[in-house]
Structure formats: C-alpha cells, structure tokens
Structure 1
Amino acid sequence: MRPFVVIVGPTAVGKSALGLDLARAVRGEIISGDSVQVYRKLDIGSAKTPPGEREGVPHHLFDFLDPREPYSAAQFQEAASRLISEIQARDHVPILVGGTGLYVRSLLDPYRFSEKGSGAIRQKWLSFLAQEGKEALHRALAERDPLTAARLHVNDRVRVIRALEVFELTGRPLSGTRTASDKVYAPLAPNTIYIGLEAPREILYRRIDERCAEMIREGLVEETADLLHSGYSRELKPLQSLGYRHVLWYLRGLATLPEALRLMQRDTRHFAKRQFTWFRRDPRITWYDISRFSPNRILADVICTCRALETRVE
C-alpha cells in the first residue's frame, strides 16, 4: 500500500509549496483540506496555488463548487476517503494539504457526522436574523447552547446558525456532540505520515502580513467586486471568510482600503493562532519549524520517510 501523507499547520507557513514539491518527488496527488479552496471564483483570497504552478500535479477537492453551494465536513470526509483509495489504487501517493482542522481529523479519527443539514431550519434562522438582527440570533443560541455561544463571536453568523440548526435536529447542543470525539486521537494507520509546519510567532505573523498585502496587490478587491457583479450575495458563507469579508467592508464604504487590509491582517493572525492551538493538541504530528529547517531539508526527510514506509509496508 502506498503512503498517505498529511501536511498541516497555520496559514502562510508553506504547506502548499511543500505538498507540491513532495507530489512531484513521489508521484503524489494533492487533496485540498481547505474549506474555502473548494469554491470556484474564490482564488486570490483562498490562496489557491496558481494553475501554472500546479501543472503536472493532480489536485482534488479544489476549485469545483459554485460559491452558492454549501459544503460540510461530512461531505469532505466522504469525498476525501474515496479519493485516498482511488489514488492509492493508481499506485500514487495521496497528499492531504490543509489548515481546516475538522476536515483533517475527520479522516484520521472516528468522526461520525450524524447531524445532517436542514435547509428549512437554516432558512428559518436566516429569516430570524434578517428580522431580529445578529445580537438576537446570538442570544437565541446562548439560551440553547451557552458553551458554543460563548465560543462564537456575535458576527460569526454562519456558525451561530449552524449551531442552532444542530440543536434543532438532534436535541443536543453542538458543544456536546463533538466533545468526546475531540479528545480521542486514534492511532494512525501504519502507512500514514502526519507532519506539521510551524514558525516562531514573529516570523509567521510577518509572512501573514505580507501575504495579505500581496493578495490586495494581486487583485482581491477586483475579484470580490466581480463576484458581487455576477450576482453572488455578500451574505454567502464563502464571502464571509477571511479576506473577502474585509474587502466587502471596503466596497460598502465601511472602511478605507488600508483599514480593511489592517483588519484582514489582524484577523488572519488570530485565525493562525487558533489553527496552531487546534493542531498542537494532536500528539501524532511530527513538527518542523521552518526557521530551523530549510524547505529542502523538510522535503528530503518526508521523501525518506515515504520510501522507508513503502518498503516496510510492501
């Protein structure tokens, strides 16, 4: 059996570049583990690897959904599990690259997503939001699931509505449906290589600030405006993600472009901190500090592990 490689870490740390280099070295295929990169037309803000750089390396769960279509961790789990088997059957190496922690854990641990979505319930709470406002929506969640409400910001309307939806579907708070499985780190399959990239905070934050500024220079404002001109609502979940929601503030006159960039950089740094906290709890990850190990050294180590694993497994 061919190896299965998982590359995780906070945003802007270099996961995609390592995944591409590894794929070219070991006949790999990339599976995106990013909840925004699944959407077409959201290229710059989701930091998709440009098509020219992807040449020769198959990419999956990447750039295939219309922004209006919902996508869940349960859907990812089903699709990615199937892809891993198909890629290995081709005698290639599946390489999962991503920073969406729940997506990654859904493939490595015994996650069961029993709470299927309900369009009717979701629409009910969307109507409630439109009529009563985001503060009332957050209070409604606090009455039903105070732990989740305390964790979610009042502006995070997508996740607040999702938590309300889960409560109505299951009769249980979202905070109670994940707690047990979140604490279980199952032994890795013998062919799994699980690595994480990290960096000292000052280095990572500088990379994040530079990436955000580069996104603006590359045309994130124009990309977001084009989505609106094409008829996509600013309320869509993908357009509430990092970068896009900040540009929307600028386009609506709620912030100047420098202010929007500053807030984008700040919120992306906060997001990276949450990502690192999530992954750091997982004792199965082998970590590489990019300030101490060069990209070539990390790549060589992972290639060596792949080769040794192939020999041992076969």
Structure 2
Amino acid sequence: MKDSTTFGMQPILCLAGPTASGKSAIARAIAERWPTEIINVDSATIYRGMDIGTAKPTLEERKAVRHHLLDIRDPTQSYSAAAFRHDALKCVAEIRERGHLPLLAGGTMLYFKALREGLNDLPSANPEVRQALEVQAQKIGWPGMHAELTRIDPVTAHRLAPNDSQRIQRALEIWHISGLPMSELIGKANPSDAPVATLTISLEPSDRSILHMRIAHRFDEMLEQGLLAEVENLHKLPDLHPGLPSIRCVGYRQLWSMLDGEVNMQTAREQAIAATRQLAKRQLTWLRSLPGRQIVDSLSPDALQQVLQCVQKQAREITGF
C-alpha cells in the first residue's frame, strides 16, 4: 500500500451525512457520471446477514457500481476504526491505480475521524479480554461496568453514558491490556497513522422534522421488506447476543429486545425510530464541528447538482473525465 503521505497530494473524496439523508442515491449518481468505486463508511454494513436493517446496497446496485468494505465480518466479530482506516486507505490506493474515483460514503463518523485525523496509540482489541468483560457485564450490568471505569479512569468515564456499552468495554479493555487509563493514552499520536487530506461533502438537511419523517418511513419500509425475519434468523444463532456490536446496531437491538419478550412490537418500533433519530442528531453534531466541509442541503431541489459541482474537479484529475 502507498504511504499515507501520498494521499496528501490528492484529497480523498468523502460523502458524509446523517442516516436517511440520501447519501446512497447521491453516491450512485456520482458513479453514473464518473468511473467510481464506493468505499462504505458504515459500522453496520460490514456484517454478513444484516442487509435490510443496514440499508445495504442491493445485488443489482453492487453489480452496477463496485462497492468495498461490505460483508467483511460475521456478526460475532468486531471491527475497529484502526482496521477501517487500514482497509480504506488500501482501497483508495488500488482504486486510483485503476484510474477510478474512490468515494468514501457513509455515516459512521468515528471512521471518518480516524481517516482524517489519524489514530491514537491505543492497543489492539483482545478477544479474550473482551469476552471476560462481557461475562462481567452480564453479572453487574453496564452501569456497574461504568462505575468500575469511573474508579480507574474517571476522565473517560465522565464523557460516557452509563449504558454506552461499546465505549465502556473498549476503555476497560485498554486498561486491562496496557495497565494505563485510556485518557492517558489517547493523546499519544501514532506516527505511522498520520492524518490525511480529505474533501468532505456534508449532506445536512435544513429541516430536522422532514429528516425525522424520512427515518420513520424508512424503518417501516424495512419492516415491510422483512427486517423482523432477518433479526429472527440472527436471534436463532447460539453465538449471538445483545452485547455484540452487531446486535447493538439501531433497529436490530430493539427488535432483539422484542424477540426476548422485553417489549412488544409497537414499542420496539417506536424505540428503533427514536434511537435512529438520536443517531442522526449525533451525526449532525459531529459534522457541524468539522472545519472545511462543503455543506449541501440534502432537501434542496438542486442538491445533486451542488454535489456534482464539488466533485467535478477532483474527478477530472483522477479519471480524466
């Protein structure tokens, strides 16, 4: 793979936005205009067997446009921001060597952050430590794990919600592996993972209520397409449980609770829609803190034309079109 400093010569094109903002449709439109390959920036579409609830591109769409970083993990497995950065930069180099335009598109802001800013010098994931922490969490609950984190790393614990299981687990894992709190390690840059230049087009809807309606409508469409049956198939697998990152994905987590008898279907639907709206809010908050982004109102009638204008210069330099 090319050294990451190579990428500073030509910014990496990124299309970001909250869930249900129309990223996939615009990414496909870019691919219709220029020879493009899409690198998915999504912590849910990486999982095999999780198609409907992640709004994964259809087989027909994948035949029309080459997609990368889809279906690369089983739901039992984890995938880190560090792994994403490594895989994404490798894809970018290979796509450019083919004379195509690499387009990173998605809504997992942690992945965009890792790509743009580089990574801290944190230890890699350890499956045995994670398993031990999950067993402990089953006994005392994630608020109890949060209390444990408060004892060993109050700085990190202060910024995490007591039920933020994924981040609490990672902070505790780092402490168990390194013997140091995450807050001490997080400022130590890894020189092999330097920041790279990006051109980020940010789809930001001007009317939050319309985005909320789209989120509800899309979830209902997923249910009509068979999302519940998809979750039921996952629920039958003996090695899957709600503590895994895959099952904690919005929509899946709430329907899993329904299948466990904790809530009824109506409540699961309402909780899934509410959780998706909260996700969109967090995504927008992150985007609005990003300097230098090219803002496009995703609700504007000429949103696509604005995006194509942003892309045109870089696409011409890379593809010759």
TM-score, length-normalised on structure 1? Answer: 0.89
What is the match of residue 29 of structure 1?
A: 37
What is the match of residue 155 of structure 2?
A: 147
Q: Distance in 2 between matches of 1:12 and 1:213?
A: 13
Any residues of structure 2 matched to 1:65-84 within 5 Å, and which? 65-84=73-92
Distance 1:208 1:148, change over 3 A: farther
Distance 1:113 1:104, change over 3 A: farther
Find out whether 1:206 has 2:213 as its counterpart.
Answer: yes
**What amino acid sits opposite 1:107 in the alignment?**
L
Distance 1:22 1:263, change over 3 A: same
Find out whether 1:238 has 2:221 as its counterpart.
Answer: no
Q: Distance in 2 between matches of 1:136 and 1:85?
A: 44
What is the match of residue 131 of structure 2?
A: 123
Comparing 294-303 with 155-164, greater Cα deviation is found at 294-303
What is the match of residue 12 of structure 1?
A: 20
What is the match of residue 102 of structure 2?
A: 94
8 Å Cα contact 2:40/2:67 also seen in 1? yes
8 Å Cα contact 2:27/2:38 also seen in 1? yes
Distance 1:110 1:70, change over 3 A: closer
Alpha-carbon deviation of 1:128?
A: 1.6
Q: Distance in 1 between matches of 2:306 and 2:159?
A: 35
Find out whether 1:174 has 2:182 as its counterpart.
Answer: yes
Alpha-carbon deviation of 1:141?
A: 1.1
**Which secondary structure does the structure 2 equivalent of 1:95 belong to?**
strand
**Structure 1: 5+ residue runs without aligned partners?**
none
**Which secondary structure does the structure 1 equivalent of 2:202 belong to?**
strand
**What amino acid sits opposite 2:296 in the alignment?**
Y
8 Å Cα contact 1:12/1:208 also seen in 2? yes
Distance 1:90 1:113, change over 3 A: farther
8 Å Cα contact 2:175/2:181 also seen in 1? yes
Any residues of structure 2 matched to 1:267-282 within 5 Å, and which? 267-282=275-290
What is the match of residue 229 of structure 2?
A: 222
What is the match of residue 195 of structure 1?
A: 201
Q: Distance in 2 between matches of 1:136 and 1:114?
A: 24
Alpha-carbon deviation of 1:180?
A: 7.8
Q: Distance in 1 between matches of 2:121 and 2:225?
A: 38
Distance 1:287 1:53, change over 3 A: same
Any residues of structure 2 matched to 1:246-257 within 5 Å, and which? 246-257=254-265
Alpha-carbon deviation of 1:126?
A: 1.9
Q: Distance in 1 between matches of 2:229 and 2:289?
A: 38
Distance 1:178 1:276, change over 3 A: farther
Q: Distance in 2 between matches of 1:241 and 1:281?
A: 24
Identity %, equivalent residues: 36
Aligned length: 307
